[in-house]
Amino acid sequence: MSNDRRIPISASVRHIHLSRQHVEALFGPGHQLTPAKELSQPGQFACEEMVTLHGPKGNIERVRVLGPERGETQVEISRTDEFKLGIDAPTRPSGKLEDTPGLRLEGVFGAVELEHGVIQAARHIHMTPSDAERFGVEDKQWVMVRVGGDRGLIYDDVLIRVKESYALDMHLDTDEANAADLGPDAYGTLITGATEVAPDPDD
């Protein structure tokens, strides 16, 4: 186990992952997502395409689509976004969309009434198997991460995600990043062990 426990941290702005069906419904039959910028995880990219989210109380425009396409549409927002939209989305690991709220999506071609799929993404760390061995952790383990600075704090219940194709990076939403006044080159120190009430990522 390495003595270097530092983890790079990225703030994840509200975004949406779309299924093939919803890509075509929002942007037109046969439309293919247009990559605009590579993201920290290999093979993942921000797209030129954007949508508008319509909630019971308000709208959020110009929400970026991330690629590639997924099997099911997933909208990731912050708690502040929820207040503006007027919905109450649970904190979930990516892909765990059962019993989540929906909203209306609007694109340049059409609109979709999404029945479910809106979440606050559980804070998490992507890492390779060699990273996991170095840090002494395993896939689906929950840990804590400490950040320093004038508004330093400890993030509890951070989910470890291990896959050969991942690049080491911790993802927070904008509310979480702003709470610690994190900049673009932020990093934290991994602390193994989390609260006893950490959720089961398989639930």
Mind giving me the DSSP string for the chain?
Answer: --S--EEEEEEE-SEEE--HHHHHHHH-TT----EEEE-SSTT-EEEEEEEEEE-SS-EEEEEEEEES--SS-EEE--HHHHHHHT--PPEE-TT--TT---EEEE-SS-EEEE-S-EEEEPPEEEE-HHHHHHHT--TT-EEEEEE-STT-EEEEEEEEEE-TT--SEEEEEHHHHHHTT--TT-EEEEEE---TTPPPTT-
Plot region of 80 (φ>0 → left; ψ -120 to 50 → alpha; else → beta): alpha
User: What digits encode the pLDDT tens for the residues 111-156?
Assistant: 999 999 999 999 999 999 999 999 999 999 999 999 999 999 999 9
More confident residue, 12 or 200: 12
Q: What are phi and psi of 101, to 5 degrees?
A: -75, 165
Residue 195 in this model has a pLDDT that exceeds 80: no
More confident residue, 197 or 179: 179
pLDDT over 70, % of the chain: 93
Task: Calculate the average pLDDT of the chain.
Answer: 93
On whether the CB atoms of residues 192 and 32 are closer than 8 A, the answer is no
> Two tokens at 148?
């320093």
pLDDT band at 2; cut points 50, 70, 90: low
Domain residue spans of the chain? 6-10+123-192, 13-121
User: What digits encode the pLDDT tens for the residues 60-103?
Assistant: 999 999 999 999 999 999 999 999 999 999 999 999 999 999 99
pLDDT band at 201; cut points 50, 70, 90: low
Residue 31 confidence (pLDDT): 98
Enumerate residues 6+ apart whose C-beta is below 8 A from 154. Answer: 144, 145, 146, 147, 191
Residue 199 confidence (pLDDT): 57
pLDDT over 90, % of the chain: 89
- Which of these, 112, 191, 110, 203, lies nearest to 158 by C-alpha position? 191
Residue 193 confidence (pLDDT): 65
- Choosing among 2.40.40.20, 3.10.20.30, 3.40.50.2020, 3.40.50.300, the CATH entry for 6-10+123-192 is 2.40.40.20
pLDDT band at 202; cut points 50, 70, 90: low
Place of tokens 């993942």: 44
pLDDT band at 198; cut points 50, 70, 90: low
Beta bridge partners of 112: 105
